[in-house]
A and B are shown apart, each in its own frame.
Chain A
Amino acid sequence: MASYSTSEFKGGLKLMMDGDPCSIIENEIVKPGKGQAFNRVKLRNLKTGRVIERTFKSGESLEGADVIDLDMQYLYNDGEFFHFMDPVSFEQYQADENAVAEAKLWLKDQAMCILTLWNDAPISVTPPNFVDLEITETDPGLKGDTSGGGGKPATLETGAVVRVPLFVQIGELIKVDTRTGDYVSRAKA
């Protein structure tokens, strides 16, 4: 893998740091007067999702990370691994619990998502920003309440629990924002 000098740093560049693949979020040159230049870099660790800030001396190099994002179809979970398929090549990948992490709350069989591969192995899964999921469990709400005020917890088919308005019932499809875990609206079946 090629290495990248600080002058090539920009948002989205994938680099190896402390043994983990990271993606640059922000890169700012810090240069006091006529003094030495530094690059203050904000990076996301692609394995843990954690955001770190680190300073480099301008001119330093870091090794690139062989990371790609692929559109994949989620197939099934066999109890240990989550299985995905590239809908173009039909190639299949299995990801463990660590890689899937929070995304499993939003993954329904056959749903499309983004699989991030590092050295050809899945390290994270990003669900679509919005997903439609069925409510499998919730308290019966007050009939005729369409105000949306208040709310109640509802369990979805994937096991996720979200807060929904009182008028939404078991068996209904709802649209959820996966980035916040918030109810958006009822979805058309």
Chain B
Amino acid sequence: MTTTWQPSCSLELIRLRAGLLHEIRSFFYAENVLEVETPILCQAIGTDPYLDFFSTSQLPGNQPVLYLQTSPEFAMKRLLAAQIGSIYQITKAFRKAESGRLHNPEFSMLEWYRVGYDLSRLMDDVELLLNQFLPAERFPDPAERISYTDVFLQYTGLNALQFNLSAYSRVAEKLGFPEAIRLCADDHPAWLDFLFSHSVQQHLGKTGLCMVFDYPACLPSLARLNLDNPLTVARVEVFIDGIELANGYYELTDIAQQRSRFDQEILLRDRNGAVKVHKDERLLAALQSGLPDCSGIAIGLDRLLMIISEKNHIDEVLAFPIENA
């Protein structure tokens, strides 16, 4: 048996990636956004209920267990709290048990924060940056901005903010997903995740960038509540060609709320039997000192490359995907 050593993607793709990274850096340089580096290996990790992570085994002595970061968010927020101003980072992030057409356990992420920006200005940023990469012949339309409730209503006929089990079940059956009733039971966020990923997402961004904003408050992540509609949070996801490309927030700065979201997520992780995690006290201390008003977003660069180069599988844009790493 011969051992494969060659890269999985074409050399052309490796050059395309280098070009993309260069363009991104030029964009942020021109915008006066500072490039930063933060650790990939940290003493704390996010509490996201559905993200699984890699960690080191217990080291000898009293050395702490270290975690490979699922995103650079916490460390970047500590820089923001230190009043560094707007920043961006191109880094690797790691998510265990995610492998498939759109997932590799190690992936490249572009994450940036704009001090003083709200969600709508952040969306301007995304549009400006991404539209220079998307081939105009395939994506001729201007970027679309649509609220989560509107897009959910359009494709499912359901009110995303008001959970009604019998209405949701009827729609699941009508759309051909009767198993959703067993899988989601009376869990509203699970229903939203199921229906959005099975019946909404594939329609988004077919002819141009699609930004879905103002998520239901039961899918808050680290976004702040909208003051004018507290049933929603200031969160945006970006879709192109049916693929989810980015996730951003008008960042939560309130330490009490942050602490309680951590607690809720940890509780949910326990209930689901997920690996135990602790609150990142360094992030909380940074919030205590004061996170400036800011918005931030993370973009999956491998997926962006897939879209630009019209590839169907993430392995086709990676030099060494996990099976060949």
A111 to chain B, nearest CB (A): 35
Complex: A58 Cα to B177 Cα, angstroms: 16
> Do the beta carbons of A29 and B102 come within 8 Å of each other?
yes
> Using Cβ atoms and an 8 Å threshold, which residues of chain A touch B219?
33, 35
The segment out of A36-44, A124-132, A154-162 that lies at the interface is A36-44
Q: Please tell me if B247 contacts chain A, counting CB pairs below 8 Å.
A: yes
In the complex, B147 has a CB within 8 A of chain A: no
B193 & A32 in contact (Cβ 8 Å cutoff): yes
Partner of A36, one of B179, B190, B247: B190
Using A31-B197, A32-B196 as known contacts, say yes or no to A57 and B183 having CB atoms under 8 A apart: yes
Residue of B nearest to A30 (CB): B197
A119 at the B interface (CB under 8 A): no
- Determine the distance from Cα of A35 to Cα of B51 in the docked complex, in whole angstroms: 8
Contact (Cβ within 8 A) B50 A55: no
Q: Cβ of B198 and Cβ of A40 under 8 Å apart?
A: yes
Chain A contacts for B48, CB-based, 8 A: 34
- Known contacts A7-B97, A36-B50, A55-B198; is-contact A31 B103 (Cβ 8 Å): yes
A55-B183 contact given A31-B197, A33-B237, A34-B50, CB 8 Å threshold: yes
Flag whether B98 is at the interface (Cβ < 8 A): yes
- Asked if A50 is at the interface (CB within 8 A of a chain B CB), the reply is no
Report the tally of A-B residue pairs with Cβ distances under 8 A: 63
Determine the distance from Cα of A48 to Cα of B60 in the docked complex, in whole angstroms.
57
- B28 CB–A CB distance under 8 Å: no
Known: A7-B97, A33-B237, A55-B198. A38 touches B103 (CB 8 A): no
Chain A nearest CB: distance from B291 CB in Å? 20
Cβ of A143 under 8 Å from chain B: no
Partner of B97 from A35, A40, A54, A58 at Cβ < 8 Å: A58
CA distance A55 to B181 in the complex (A): 11
CB distance from A104 to the nearest CB of B (A): 33
* Contact status B194-A33, CB under 8 Å: no
Known: A7-B97, A58-B97. A32 touches B179 (CB 8 A): no
Nearest B-chain residue to A54, judged by Cβ = B179
Q: Which among B50, B190, B244 has the greatest number of chain A C-beta atoms within 10 A?
A: B50
Taking the complex as formed, is A28 at the interface, i.e. its CB lies under 8 A from any CB of chain B?
A: yes
List residues of chain B with CB within 8 A of the CB of A54.
179
CB pair A35–B244 under 8 Å, yes or no, is: no
B207 contacts the other chain (CB 8 A): no
Count class of interface residues, chain A: 20 to 34
Interface size class, chain B: 20 to 34
Report how far A119 CA is from B103 CA in the complex, Å: 36
Docked-complex contact A30 and B198, CB < 8 angstroms:
yes
A28 to B103, CA, bound (A): 10
Using known A-B contacts A29-B103, A55-B183, determine if residue A35 contacts B189 with beta carbons closer than 8 Å: yes
Residue pair A38, B98 in contact (C-beta under 8 Å):
no
**Cα–Cα, bound, A56→B176 (Å):** 14
Answer whether A55 and B103 are a contact pair too, CB < 8 Å, given A31-B197, A34-B48. no
Output the nearest chain B residue to A7 by Cβ-Cβ distance: B97
Query: Smallest CB–CB gap between A55 and chain B, Å?
Result: 6
Distance, CA A40 to CA B180, complexed state (A): 12
Q: Is the CB of B183 within 8 A of A38?
A: yes
Judged by a CB distance under 8 angstroms, whether B99 is at the interface is yes
Query: Which residues on the A side are within 8 Å of B190 (C-beta)?
Result: 36
- For B212, the closest partner residue in chain A by CB is A33
Asked if B101 is at the interface of the complex by the 8 Å CB criterion, the answer is: yes
Chain A 1-44 per-residue mask, 1 if CB under 8 angstroms from chain B, else 0? 00000010000000000000000000111111111111010000
Distance between Cα atoms of A57 and B273 in the complex (Å):
14
For chain B, residues 181 to 215, give those with C-beta under 8 angstroms from any C-beta of chain A.
183, 189-190, 192-194, 196-198, 201
Query: A54-B179, A55-B194, A57-B183 in contact; A31/B98 too (CB < 8 A)?
Result: yes
- How far does the alpha carbon of A33 sit from the alpha carbon of B198 in the complex, in Å? 13
Tell me, rounded to whole Å, the shortest Cβ–Cβ distance linking B35 to chain A. 25
A-B contact pairs, 12 of them (CB 8 A): A7-B97, A27-B100, A29-B103, A31-B98, A35-B50, A36-B190, A37-B50, A37-B98, A53-B176, A55-B183, A55-B198, A56-B183
Query: With contacts A30-B198, A35-B193 known, what are 12 further pairs, Cβ within 8 A?
Result: A29-B99, A31-B197, A33-B221, A34-B48, A35-B192, A35-B219, A36-B189, A38-B197, A54-B179, A55-B180, A56-B183, A58-B97
Closest A-B pairs by Cβ, 9 of them: A35-B193, A29-B100, A32-B197, A30-B197, A36-B193, A32-B193, A33-B247, A57-B183, A34-B48
B interface residue numbers (CB < 8 A to A): 48, 50-51, 97-103, 176-177, 179-180, 183, 189-190, 192-194, 196-198, 201, 219, 221, 237, 244, 247
Instruction: List residues of chain A with CB under 8 Å of any chain B CB.
Output: 7, 27-38, 40, 53-58
